[in-house]
Homo-oligomer: A and B are copies of this chain.
């Protein structure tokens, strides 16, 4: 009569109840400890207080767990960007802030960020949920570009195409920072982003040169 279930002896019931979420959280804790490369399904299971085979009731694969982490990550990234972007005075500033938030997320959660673009999830078609979450984040950029165009602070052109370029800029800074190749990120990131934003500007004068 001690426990509310029969399992008073061991302390916890046979069924976990929220194992899937618990595994995701345990995995996040685990990559913080030992990196995204060294992530071991067994360690995750143990941290969640469950046997090594238990995760297979919720994930087909280790890869599918990683995909779940990616979905989580993309969602967190998007909401962090959204929150940061809300503090912008105009569309142009908002676009730059989104880029900064992108890099900022990568630098605060490097191991998590790595998973989003890691080799295990190279073909994202097979992980629709993660893919969708990623596209939701990308949509923020597209929207920001469109607003800039309305505002007149970004040249005309396919917003998706321009947003892809902006994404690549931010992603490059984020990747290099995470790879430890951007020692003075604090300076380099905003400088690079505003450099890029200058190129995005309308064709008043600059950019009309270049290709014959």
Q: Enumerate chain A interface residues (CB-CB to B < 8 A).
A: 35-37, 92, 96, 111, 114, 117-120, 122-124, 134, 153, 161-162, 164-165, 167-176, 179-182, 187-188, 191-192, 194-201, 204-207, 209-211
Whether B191 pairs with A201 at a CB distance below 8 angstroms is no
5 closest pairs, A vs B, by CB? A172-B172, A199-B199, A198-B207, A206-B206, A165-B192
On chain B, the residues within 8 Å of A165 by CB distance are 188, 191-192, 195-196
Whether A198 pairs with B210 at a CB distance below 8 angstroms is yes
Chain A contact residues: helix, strand, loop or mixed:
helix
18 further A-B contacts with Cβ under 8 Å, apart from A122-B180, A195-B196, A204-B206, are A117-B176, A117-B181, A153-B209, A162-B195, A164-B182, A165-B188, A167-B176, A168-B169, A168-B173, A168-B176, A168-B182, A169-B196, A171-B172, A172-B175, A175-B175, A194-B210, A196-B196, A199-B207
CB within 8 A of A175: which of B171, B182, B211?
Answer: B171
Q: Give, as a whole number of angstroms, the nearest-CB distance from A189 to chain B.
A: 9
Q: Within the oligomer, what is the number of copies of this chain? A: 2
Whether A164 pairs with B180 at a CB distance below 8 angstroms is no
On chain B, the residues within 8 Å of A123 by CB distance are 180
Whether A175 pairs with B119 at a CB distance below 8 angstroms is no
A-B CB contact pairs (8 Å), 26 listed: A35-B119, A92-B209, A96-B210, A111-B119, A124-B180, A161-B187, A161-B191, A165-B188, A167-B176, A168-B173, A169-B169, A169-B172, A169-B196, A172-B174, A172-B175, A194-B207, A194-B211, A198-B199, A198-B201, A198-B207, A199-B199, A199-B201, A199-B206, A204-B206, A205-B206, A206-B207
